[in-house]
Amino acid sequence: MLFLEGKIPSHVFFLVDGKMKLYTTDLQGREQIIHLAGPGDLMGYRAILGGDSLSCSAAALELSHVLVVPKDVFLRTLETDAAFSHQVIRLLTNELRHAEHHLAGLARKSVRARLAEVLLIIGTKFGYETDEETLAVTLSREEIAGLVGTATETVIRLLHAMKDEGLLATNARKIRLINKDGLRKCAEDL
């Protein structure tokens, strides 16, 4: 666990390498993954900029290396380095655009389309194993359901249906995207 939702941040975190999930937890203890972080991602900075507590928790999905930057160093760098400030502003706008896209998708896309989109995004974010089809990150069905915004049982049923259609293959927690064009078409369906 890198940091916990609700805590007051004293550092920002720069992911040097590895893969992490950022998530919230409801009162029943269920996780809702809100972001998958990869190398180069900055985490915890919005809470510092907003003077808030952390809005999510972060945990490694695999062995990861993180640069821990004290809050005062981060804020001083923002004040003294215009190029760094512009990068942080660009990061904020990208995250806002992603959030808007996600909300619009939840409102108008079917769960099947959202699942296809999430699988393609995971492939883009983390890449593929040497076969160029198997996602290079292992996520549980519960974690995938959290990303899609649906029940685990729905994800299991839809993965099975997509498997029957020849869009993907599964082997335990590994997912192979056999027909990426078909998944793209599925992701575009409203």
Q: What is the pLDDT of residues 9-39, one digit of tens each?
A: 999 999 999 999 999 998 988 888 989 999 9
DSSP per-residue string spanning 2-21: -B-TTPPPSEEEEEEES-EE
Residue 189: is its pLDDT beyond 90? no
Q: Give the up-direction half-sphere exposure of residue 93: CA atoms within 13 A in the CB hemisphere.
A: 6
How sure is the predictor about 190, in pLDDT bands with cuts at 50, 70 and 90?
Answer: low
Under CATH, which architecture does the 110-188 domain have?
A: Orthogonal Bundle (1.10)
Chain Cα centroid distance, residue 187: 17
Residue 134 has pLDDT above 80, yes or no: yes
Q: Once rounded to an integer, what is the mean pLDDT over residues 112-125?
A: 94
pLDDT exceeding 70 applies to what percent of the chain? 99
- Residue 124, pLDDT score: 93
Average pLDDT score, the chain = 93
62-88, pLDDT tens digit by residue? 999 999 999 999 999 999 999 999 999
11-106 classified as CATH 2.60.120.10: yes
Q: In terms of Cα–Cα distance, which of 81, 124, 98, 1 is closest to 46?
A: 98
Higher pLDDT, 102 or 90: 90
Question: Can you say whether the dihedral through the CA atoms of 88, 35, 131, 17 is positive or negative?
Answer: positive
- pTM metric for this prediction: 0.83
Q: Domains of the chain: which residue ranges?
A: 11-106, 110-188
Q: Identify the three-state secondary structure at position 150.
A: coil
Whose CA is closest to 137, among 72, 30, 58, 60?
A: 60
Dihedral sign of CA atoms 151, 152, 156, 159 in order: positive
